Structure formats: structure tokens, C-alpha cells
Amino acid sequence: MIEPRTHRAPRGRFVEGLASLGSLAGAGLLILVALAVGSLIPASDENIEHRQRPYAVQGGVGDARSTDKLDIRVAGVRGAGKIKDDDRTHDTGGVWIIVKVRVATRTEAGLIPYAAARDRHGRIYELSSRIEQSLNGRMLQPGIPLTGELVFEVPKDAATDLTVLFADNSLDRRMDRQVEIALPTVDKATVDRWLADAATTLIDTEVSTA
Amino acid sequence: MSGNGGTGAAAGALRGVASHLSLRWVAAGIAVLTVAASGLFGGLRPTEKPTVPVIAVHTAFDGGPWTVTVNRALTLKTLEPLKKTEKAGDRWVAVRVRMEINANETWNRIDDVIRLPGVKGLRTVEPSEFYLVRDESLLVRELQPGIPEEVAFLWQQDGSVPRPEAMDVELWGMTHRKSSLTDMIEWLDSGPRALVLDVPVEDR
């Protein structure tokens, strides 16, 4: 027996229009979602420097820390408004920060590839070339630590809170090990006292094996 | 039907022509098309040099990684005992500025700060020496961020060229933007950003 075919009443134009509008809205929503997801990708790209930042090996004064090439121990820090190296006195528009450090290469002879001071705002101050520095450019032998002073020139407002950085590459330190030694914080009065001191601070221009 | 046949015939004819074209003809065709297309946008006509703002002497100019203020221009017969000119009889041309590093790191590319485009007889386009007034020394090649310094940029000038009475000082700058090469935010696009016109040149 053949069942008589049932016929559905044709949908009105209004209903069809609504359905069509609904599918358009759905497509539009999908496009918006895709755009929203896409907009997150460049935002992530802008953070590439953060994602590729060096691997920090943190420590404080007196702590022994290592990069792949160097063993480092910061022994102390002092500040000054006027310093003297071998033959000249140097004043500054900022503050001189003098960091005593004991350093040796680990496996082969080499220099300190990178040493810098970083302030609390992230500004980086490399070793000053205004003066002769005993460890800057000094060839180090593996297993024979040398003690000397590293000298940085920083603005007055940066001198209160500094971290000294050591790394194995002076140009590209992305995703590389970086020793970060936090120097003791000092108050503004201490910085002012350094600057007001009329005496010239002598820089140790020789290294020692002590 | 006839339309399809026409299209097919045209495609066949094109294929026939293409199969007989040598690589040289294809390359020549591409070159002709390229020239024709570039012609629509001015072709090889020289473009106008972008103009830069003119600023006065003693006016601070923010060039991006640095702020620089041109204060004086000088010619010097000698810099000895600090430095001799490479050719006897040459003189020094100096621009003295106040300069502060705005970048967040020690800046050691200070040869990209100033040019003297109209001065004849300079031995180099970029300055050959930098004089740090505080130290009375030519040794420094870098400046620290946030510590303003008086600096003189120095060029050697052919001694047979007349001494300039006044000169234009071009101040360069850079832009902090994402590098398409490294994806890192870097200082790029080094180039002229401002001009200090007719700076009187003192003779020393």
C-alpha cells in the first residue's frame, strides 16, 4: 500500500528571510571571532623580546654564580662623584658605581664578554670607556680567578637600585644564561653623600689573584 | 556552442604561440610590462627629497634615541696634542652640541647624529672624531642614557677649500619600531630629521 505523500506547507517569505538573516549573522560572528583570535597573534609577537629574554641566574653580593663561560662573585660596591684612574680625574653628570668582582673563565681563556648595570627602569649601562678598567679586555685563564673593579657611570636617580649583569655574548643574549647580581639598595642621601665628597676616589687599576 | 568554440580556438592559438616563445622573449615581455606598470606611477622620474623641519640654534631636537641641541660651529687649525689631521694642512670642522641619550641603553653609534651636507672638502661624510668636553678627550665613543653631555663632532676638511663662514647642520634621527627582519623592537630608519640653517662658524 502506498502511503500518500504528505506535503509540508510552504514556509512564508518572512520565515525564510529570518533563517537567511540568522545564517548571515552566524557567518559574521565567525568572521569576528577569527579576527579577534588573529588580533591576539601580533599582540603576542610584540612581546617577542620578553619571550626571548635571557635566562636569569640571580644572586647577591658574595654569591658565586656562573654563565656558561664565566665563574663570577661580586665582592662589594662603592659609589663616587669623582674618580681617578692611572693619570686623570673624572667627574660625572651622574654617579660612578664601582663594583669589585672576582671572575675566572671556566674552560678556556677569554675576556669578560659582557658586563653591564641595569637600573630599576630597565635601562642598561655598559662599562664606562672614559677610564682605564683593569678587567675590561683582560684575558682570563680558566680556573685562575682575578679580582678587579668594574666601573659604571649611571644617572643619579638610577644609582639607588642597580643589578649587575654578566653574559657570554655582548651582542645577542637572547635565551642565553645571564648572571644578575642585585647590588645592595642605597637611599638618595647616600648617593648625595657620594657626590658631595670632595675627595677623589681612586680606582684599582690593577687586578689581583687574591 | 559557437562561443565555446571561439574560446577554445583562442586558447589553442595562445598555447601555440606560447610553445614557440623562447625564455628570452618571455623575460623581455615581463620587462616591458614592468616598465609600463612603473610608468603609471612616475617611472624613473626622480622623487622629491622629503623636507625636514628647520630649527634654530640652541633648540633641543628629539631625534628618537637622543636629544641634541646645536650650540656652536667652529673651525680649528689644530687639535694637537690630541690628534693630527691625516693630511698636513687640513683643518678641523667642529659642531658643539649638548646631547642626551633617550634610549634605554648605552649608545655607541654617535656617528649617526649629525651631518654637514653643504660643507665642501670634508674628508668623510660622518664625523671622524668625538670630543667629550667634560674629559677634554677624544677617547669616548659612547654615551650613557640619562646623562647629558657636551660633545663636539669633528670632521677633517681639505685645507685648500675656503673656510666656511656659516654652515647648515643636518640632525639625524631614528625610529623605534619592529624590525621586519628580526621581529624585535629596534631603533631603525636612520636619516635626516631636522636642519639648523646658517650656523655661524667661529675660527679658532
pLDDT band at A113 (very low <50, low <70, confident <90, very high): very high
In terms of domains, do B81 and B39 share one?
no
Cα dihedral sign, A147-A171-B139-A180: negative
* CB-closest option in B135, B145, B185 to A130: B135
Q: Is the pLDDT of residue A45 over 70?
A: no
Q: What is the pLDDT of residue A1?
A: 56
CB atoms within 10 A of CB A2: 4
Q: What is the pLDDT of residue B95?
A: 98
In terms of domains, do B81 and B134 share one?
yes
pTM of full prediction above 0.80? no
In terms of domains, do B79 and B176 share one?
yes
pLDDT band at A44 (very low <50, low <70, confident <90, very high): low
| CB contact B27 to A (< 8 Å) | no
Q: What is the pLDDT of residue A173?
A: 86
Rounded to whole angstroms, the Cα distance separating B193 from B191 reads: 6
Helix (H) or strand (E) holding B75: strand B66-76
| CB contact A142 to B (< 8 Å) | no
Cα dihedral sign, B174-A119-A171-B148: positive
- Domain of residue B172 covers 54-203
What is the number of residues in chain B?
204
Collapsed DSSP state (helix, strand, coil) of residue B202: strand
Q: What are phi and psi of A33, to 5 degrees?
A: -65, -45
Averaged pLDDT for residues A23-27? 90
In terms of domains, do B38 and B61 share one?
no
What CATH number did the domain enclosing B73 receive? 2.60.40
Closest to A87 (Cα-Cα) out of B131, B106, B154, B139: B139
pLDDT in tens, A155-194: 999 999 999 999 999 888 888 999 999 999 999 999 999 9
Q: Beta A89-90 vs A70-80: how paired, if at all?
A: unpaired
CB pairs under 8 A between A and B: 61
In terms of domains, do B7 and B68 share one?
no
As given in the structure block, the three cell numbers for residue B48 are 622629491
Which residues on chain A are in Cβ contact (under 8 Å) with B147?
92-94, 153-155
Q: What is the pLDDT of residue B3?
A: 45
Which residues on chain A are in Cβ contact (under 8 Å) with B184?
48-49
| CB contact A114 to B (< 8 Å) | no
In terms of domains, do B149 and B77 share one?
yes
In terms of domains, do B109 and B196 share one?
yes
* Higher pLDDT among residues A12 and A164, named by residue: A164
pLDDT in tens, A134-157: 999 999 999 999 999 999 999 999
Number of domains, chain B: 2
Q: What is the pLDDT of residue B103?
A: 97
Averaged pLDDT for residues A103-122? 97
pLDDT in tens, A198-210: 888 888 888 998 7
In terms of domains, do B164 and B97 share one?
yes
Averaged pLDDT for residues A65-79? 97
In terms of domains, do B19 and B89 share one?
no
In terms of domains, do B38 and B106 share one?
no
Provide the ipTM. Answer: 0.77
Residues of chain B with pLDDT under 70: 1-8, 10-11, 14, 18, 40-50
Average pLDDT, chain A: 90
Q: What is the pLDDT of residue B27?
A: 82
Q: What is the pLDDT of residue B50?
A: 66
The DSSP-derived string for A106-151 is SSS-B---EEEEEETT--EEEPPSSS--SSTTPPB-BT--EEEEEE
In terms of domains, do B128 and B152 share one?
yes
In terms of domains, do B39 and B58 share one?
no
Averaged pLDDT for residues A98-104? 97
Q: What is the pLDDT of residue B2?
A: 42
| CB contact B104 to A (< 8 Å) | yes
Helix (H) or strand (E) holding B6: helix B2-20
